[in-house]
Homo-oligomer: A and B are copies of this chain.
Amino acid sequence: MRLTRYFMPVLRENPAEAQIVSHRLMLRAGMIKQNAAGIYSWLPLGFKVLRKLENIVHEEQIRAGHVPMLMPTMQSADLWRESGRYDAYGPEMLRIRDRQDRDMLFGPTNEEMITDIFRSHVSSYKDLPLTLYHIQWKFRDEMRPRFGVMRGREFFMKDGYNFDLTKEDALHAYNRHLVSYLRTYERMGLQAIPMRADSGPIGGDDTHEFLVLADTGESEVFYDSAVTDLTFGDRDIDYDSVAQCQGVMEEFTNLYARTDETHDQALFDAIPAERQRKARGIEVGQIFYFGTKYSDAMGAKVQGPDGKPTAVHMGSHGIGVSRLVGAIIEASHDDKGIIWPEGVTPFHCGIVNLKQGDAEADAACDALYTSLRALGLDPLYDDRKERAGGKFATMDLIGLPWRITVGPRGLKNGVVELTSRKSGESVEMPPEQAVEKIASIYATHHVTGNL
C-alpha cells in the first residue's frame, strides 16, 4: 500500500479520553474511531490487524478439528427463556423489541442458540464428538465502557461449543481447546497464561482463563514465576490424542496460577518464596466445561450406544478477538508507539523515502515495493512529500517490525538501511538483500483466510 492512497489518520496529540496506553496508541495510530460510548469503527490499519487475528483464530481452530460456522447477532428471547437465562442475565444484555413486538436481544454469547441447532439436527452418539465455533460481533451493554476496545460494548469474539457423549470425551475437548489456544496466542506474539478461574454466568466447575500479564489488566493474578518459562513452541500435536492434549494441559496448568477469584493463599505460600508473583493480567480467553447444564435445560439428547437418550456433555470456549488487539499493544510498545509482533503486524515492513520526488530515490522505492509484493509480502510505502523526521515518527507510532529507509546518499553506495522497530538497530545493505531478509523473517508467519 502507498500511504498517499491509504486512510491512516494519525494524531499528533494524545487524546484526552484515553486512560490506557493501548487505547491512546490505537487512536493516535488511526486504528479506531469511537462512534458512540464503547462502540468503535475499525479504521483501515486497525481492521487489517483485527482481520489477521480472526484468520489466525480460524486456522488454529480448524487445525484442532473444530468446525467454523456463523450465528447471527440477533437472537430470539424465547431461547433464553428456555435456559432460564433471559431473566437471570443482567442489564448488560441489550434487549430489543422488533416491529412485531417480539422480544429479541443482541447476543452476548451463544450457548442457547448452538444447543438449539444441535438438538434440531443431531440425534445419535455416532455424530459425536462435534465442536462448532463462530467468530461474530457480540454486545454487552457495559455501564461504564472504557479502555477503548478492551472493554467496549460491541466486541468481536470467537466462541466455540463442544458436544460429547461422556464427561471424559468433553474433558478431552477442554484440553484440546487449551492446546489450540496456547498455540493461537503464541502465534500472535503473546504469552497468555491459563489460570484457574471462576465460571460466572456461564456455569460449570472446570474453567481456565488465559491472561496476558500487563499493569493495566483488570484482574489481580497470583502465580509461580516458573509458569512464565513455559513456551508452546512448534510442537506437532495430534489433536485426537487424549494423552498428548492432557500432557500439554498438565504441563501448563500444574504450576500455581490463579486469578483473585479462585486465589488460595495457603497454596500460594507453598511456592518457593523467590517464585511467588503477584501481578495484573488482561483476560483474552476462557474455556469451560459445564457438563449437561444446557443440554438438560434444553433437551439436547442423543441416542447412546445402549439405545437410551443421553444428555450431551458440553463446554464453551472463547477468545476475545477485538480485545486482543488492545492486549497485544499493552504487552508490546514503547514510548514512541506500538511494536507489532511479526505474526500480527498489519504490514510486513515500511518503506521510507527520504527524498520523495528525487528520481533515483523514487525509482529505488518503487523497485523495493514491487519486489516485496512479488514475493507475497505486504509493505507500506510512505510516499508522502514530508520531511524524514515526520515519516520516522509515523513509522515508529504505527509499529511495523521492520523499516527500510531509502535515500540518495545510501543509494550512491548501493545500499538502503534496514531497521528493527524493536531493537532500533539499523544495518546498511543492498536493496535486494533487504528484500531477502524480510522474506526470510516472514517465511514462518503466513496467514491465510481460507476456511
Contacts and interface: CB of A to CB of B under 8 A. Distances in A.
Interface in A169-216: none
Interface string A426-451: 00000000000000000000011111
A357 to B, nearest CB: 15
Interface in A117-163: 117, 120-122, 130, 132, 134, 137, 139, 141, 143, 153-154
Contact of A122 (B9, B48, B120, B137): B9
Interface stretch (A97-105, A217-225, A243-251): A97-105
A35 B120 contact: no
A76 interface: yes
Interface stretch (A63-71, A276-284, A288-296, A297-305): A63-71
Given A141-B98, A449-B448, A104 B36 contact: yes
A46 B94 CA distance: 28
A378 to B, nearest CB: 7
B33 A117 contact: yes
Give the residue among A70, A79, A137 with the most B Cβ atoms within 10 A: A70
A117 B41 contact: yes
Contact of A47 (B43, B69, B116): B69
A19 interface: no
Contacts of A18: none
Contact of A137 (B48, B134, B137): B137
A39 B450 contact: no
Given A33-B117, A41-B113, A73-B137, A450 B6 contact: no
A6 B69 CA distance: 11
A42 interface: yes
Interface string A23-66: 00000001001011101111110111011000100000000010
Given A67-B44, A449-B55, A449-B450, A36 B75 contact: yes
A130 B67 contact: no
Contacts of A71: 35, 41-42
A242 B26 CA distance: 36
A232 interface: no
A450 B70 contact: no
A50 B70 contact: yes
A72 interface: yes
Given A42-B70, A72-B137, A5 B65 contact: yes
A447 B450 contact: yes
A91 interface: yes
Given A33-B121, A39-B75, A137-B137, 11 more contacts: A5-B67, A35-B113, A41-B69, A41-B117, A43-B69, A44-B67, A44-B132, A47-B70, A72-B137, A74-B106, A449-B449
16 contacts: A9-B120, A35-B113, A37-B102, A39-B72, A39-B75, A41-B71, A42-B69, A44-B69, A44-B132, A47-B69, A47-B70, A47-B451, A74-B153, A92-B99, A96-B96, A99-B143
Q: What are the 4 closest A-B residue pairs judged by CB atoms, nearest first?
A: A449-B449, A9-B121, A36-B76, A42-B70
Interface of A: 5-7, 9, 30, 33, 35-37, 39-44, 46-48, 50-51, 55, 65, 67-76, 79, 91-92, 94, 96, 98-100, 102, 104, 106, 113, 116-117, 120-122, 130, 132, 134, 137, 139, 141, 143, 153-154, 378, 447-451
